[in-house]
Structure 1
């Protein structure tokens, strides 16, 4: 999947993955990480999620990475935030107090852009990537934050019923991708009744899985 796919989705307002609410699994399971105040959390492929603000409200420094400039601008405008903007090629940095938004290609991310990551929260990044990009994604995470614990949310369904995104990621693949860490399945939920758009696309069974990777 090329970057233009996502840029066009934002341009046309076709952003069905965006939730107008703070993620319930984040609120329930994040306290298990016991991060100290001012710890730094990375949120890959963050869009304009309200989860960024919730993490900040917990006394954390937050770094979101997003491809679309439009998504970043909408987030700032909707929450009446004024950012200091700096070009740090190949990414553009938006700074608002303890929140940093890095706009550009996630795969260009290096430790120079986001040193000192203490934890990672992934609600919609891994499931947005086709299989051929997932290895690259996890390699970037290993490069910038090799020991950081992760809260990961994935979907499991019959991939033959629907083309992603969101893509189906089975438990065996999660364990393979993060084989160098301890992979703990925190919970599994049947969420088909909440996913009308996916039912319309042919999905007949849908599990949402929450993982703690440490």
Structure 2
């Protein structure tokens, strides 16, 4: 799997992973992050998620990074906003009041360009990446966000039953990648009705990661 895989998904409109409403795991549990009004949340591999609309409407600031320029264009179009566009190293920065989205490779994003992060909301980034890349990704987020607290949503299922993405990420892997830097707790966990993609038994978990 490489960058072209995701570019092709967006170009063909194969975005079944995109939800039409804000994720209820976020809307039900956001207070657990203990954020002040106006806090700045980082959404890695954000696509054009409706969670951004919901967070902005709630008075939060949002910064995201997304590989697909098409997804970024669609996000701002759906928000009805014309962003200011500039270059940030290898990335393109799209800015509007309270919202900054970087288009490009998340591994090209550094701490200086990213700026202040009060919390990370990882709805679909970790589970979009294959195994070895997940470890690199977790370490990269630690480096560029100064160990900001995190919400991370995972799916746990028999990987032999279905090809990712989304990939299966179990508790042992979560602890292996994050426990040295964070205290991990399961905020909410349940079996997915009908299974993942309508056939694969899976458990969805919202993790709270609090810096040690």
Pair in the same fold by TM > 0.5: yes
Mapped to 1, the partners of 2:14 and 2:4 lie a distance apart of: 13
Mapped to 2, the partners of 1:52 and 1:73 lie a distance apart of: 14
Mapped to 2, the partners of 1:70 and 1:169 lie a distance apart of: 28
- Match of 1:193, SS state, is coil
Change (3 A) 1:164 1:198: farther
Q: Is the CA contact 1:52–1:64 (under 8 Å) kept in the aligned structure 2? A: no
Report 1:1-214 matches (<5 A).
Answer: 1-179=1-179, 180-193=181-194, 195=196, 197-199=197-199, 203=200, 205-214=201-210
- Match of 1:209, SS state, is strand
Mapped to 1, the partners of 2:83 and 2:115 lie a distance apart of: 20
CA RMSD of superposed structures (Å): 1.1
- Match of 1:113, SS state, is helix
Mapped to 2, the partners of 1:109 and 1:29 lie a distance apart of: 28
The Cα of 1:136 is off from its aligned counterpart by 0.9
- Match of 1:100, SS state, is strand
Give the TM-score, by structure 2 length: 0.95
The Cα of 1:61 is off from its aligned counterpart by 1.3
Mapped to 1, the partners of 2:41 and 2:182 lie a distance apart of: 18
The Cα of 1:194 is off from its aligned counterpart by 6.2
Q: Is the CA contact 2:53–2:79 (under 8 Å) kept in the aligned structure 1? A: no
- Match of 2:208, SS state, is strand
Q: Is the CA contact 1:109–1:140 (under 8 Å) kept in the aligned structure 2? A: no
Deviation sequence 1:29-88 (CA, Å, 0-9, x none): 111112112221100000000101211222221101100000011111122111111111
Give the TM-score, by structure 1 length: 0.94
Structure 1 unaligned regions, length at least 5:
none
Single out whichever of 137-146 and 127-136 deviates more from structure 2: 137-146
